[in-house]
Amino acid sequence: MAPIIRDARTEDWPRIWPFWHWIAAAGETIAWDPDTESEQAERIWMAQPPVRVFVAEEGGRIVGSAQLRPNYGPISRVANATFLVDPECGGRGLGRRLAQHVLDAARGHGYRAMVFNAVVETNVGAVHLYHSMGFRTLATVPRAFDHPRLGPVGMHVMHLEL
């Protein structure tokens, strides 16, 4: 069954938190403090407009979430996004579906481009996905991300014209 992607609601947070926490605690792909508590994580993730949050729901279970937000001030027509897929549900195309949904929403909001400013270079699945969707790696900041097993690794800045 293909997931339904919809706008997140406040009551979705308890079903997002388990995989948000797992991904943050693993410390391998997202630049969040692994010790972030649920209440603080909810404020970060479920922020109010202009941030828009989506969930992928499958059979009543939330299996992924994405956050779309503008950059600030004079670059507010360039969007930024973050994607989370429950690790138990990886490898099924959920990340691609969420990313396509967010890109379509960004176009619908009139954004001119999407920039990912912190894609960990060792997150090869995400890097491959974004390249396959037309993103270009503009730069790699060497040794910017402290990977828990590999030590300092690079962080990509990626861009797609919308």
- Give the pTM: 0.94
Q: What is the mean pLDDT of residues 101-113?
A: 97
Residue 43: pLDDT band (50, 70, 90) is very high
pLDDT at 1 over 80: no
pLDDT in tens, 52-104: 999 999 999 999 999 999 999 999 999 999 999 999 998 889 999 999 999 99
Q: What is the pLDDT of residue 2?
A: 83
Q: What is the pLDDT of residue 137?
A: 98
Residue 119: pLDDT band (50, 70, 90) is very high
How far apart, in whole angstroms, are the C-alpha atoms of residue 102 and residue 94?
A: 12
SS (H, E, C) 64-95: EEEEEEECCHHHCCEEEEEEEECHHHCCCCHH
Q: What is the pLDDT of residue 131?
A: 98
H or E segment and range at residue 4: strand 4-7
Q: Nearest Cα to 115, choosing from 88, 151, 139, 132? A: 139
> Any bridge partners for residue 160, and if so which?
114
How far apart, in whole angstroms, are the C-alpha atoms of residue 143 and residue 153?
A: 4
Structure tokens that stand for 135 in this block: 């993103």
How far apart, in whole angstroms, are the C-alpha atoms of residue 50 and residue 136?
A: 26
Q: Which CATH architecture has domain 4-161?
A: 3-Layer(aba) Sandwich (3.40)
Task: Enumerate the domain spans of the chain.
Answer: 4-161
Q: What is the mean pLDDT of residues 93-118?
A: 96
